[in-house]
Amino acid sequence: MGIVNSFVNQIGRETGRDAYRSIISSSKIRSKVSSVESPISLLQDVKSFELMANDEATLLKITNLVEKSENCDPEDFEWQELFRELDNKIDFCKDNLNKEHYSKLEILDQLNADNFQKVKKEHIDYIKRVIEVLENNVKQSEQKNSTIAKLLSFIGFRPFYLDGKTVSSLGNLFLLLIMGGIFYRGYLAYSDPVLNAGNMGVSTQEQIAKVSRMGISLMVCISLLYIFYLVIAFRKVNKYECPIKENKKSITQFQKYLSEIQI
């Protein structure tokens, strides 16, 4: 039979597999059903198919494989190769079994084609659901603006804006207040070392200069620490954007695959 082989040769299996690999770890998208047959294990059975001791046993075995293929998991991308292999094995039986079994093999041929179309439809429906889930994920994620998130990082509210984490935002705010307080103390020591020397004696110009230098050192250290804090915050914003880009890439791949498989 040529219908299965001709179809499988047309569609881009690798395009679909590449897109599938990019989201296979997402539990929201993929859910296995224990009652369906795994195309991978069934494919191995089909590939290892050989002639049995007699024609009746061979015919029974190929019939069982064709019937199992009807319930293969359309979420796996091996289903196309499965039906192509079955198609080849049926043709192999036509060439090697007694001609009296030809009519039965023709029926199996048609059943294999029907099963192929059935699983194809289920597979297309699955791909459409995957695309829908990815599009919803992108839509929800894009409701948060990365520029606003970076601006809010300056005052510690990035976690609350991006992820709704109130405790993290309060922790960041508390840290920034401490840093601001230390920076302010350093500024006071630098601008007016006499009044802000604390318990240190500032009776000489050298001592005043020392207090002033300590104030500068505090401001520099806190400024560097604040810059480091912002770098980490910006990286987290960029990390938040990575799944959006990956999902968009997957959507493009799946849409291309879908357009090919629907031919």
Which residues does the chain have with pLDDT short of 50? 1-3, 5-12, 23-35
Q: How far is Cα 150 from Cα 238, in angstroms, rounded to an integer? A: 9
Give first-to-last CA distance, the chain, whole Å. 19
Within its chain, how far is the Cα of 255 from the centroid? 16
What is the residue extent of each domain of the chain?
3-141, 146-241
According to the model, what pLDDT value does residue 18 have? 56
CA atoms within 13 A on the CB side of 248: 10
CA angle in degrees (0–180, nearest 5) for 139-126-247: 30
What totals of helices (H) and strands (E) does the chain contain, helices first?
10, 0
Q: Which CA distances in Å does 123 have to 17, 117, 126?
A: 13, 10, 5
Question: Residue 180 has which token pair?
Answer: 């601001």
CA atoms within 13 A on the CB side of 241: 12
Q: How far is Cα 65 from Cα 74, in angstroms, rounded to an integer? A: 16
CA atoms within 13 A on the CB side of 84: 13
Mean pLDDT of the chain: 82
Least Cα distance to 189 among 221, 228, 227 occurs for 221
According to the model, what pLDDT value does residue 27 have? 37
pTM value? 0.62
Q: How far is Cα 175 from Cα 159, in angstroms, rounded to an integer? A: 14
Burial 22-34 (b: 16+ CB within 10 A, else e): bbeeeeebeeeee
Which residues, including other chains, have CB under 8 Å from residue 137's CB and lie 6 or more apart?
Answer: 243, 247
Question: For the CA atoms of the chain, what is the radius of gyration?
Answer: 34
According to the model, what pLDDT value does residue 6 have? 44
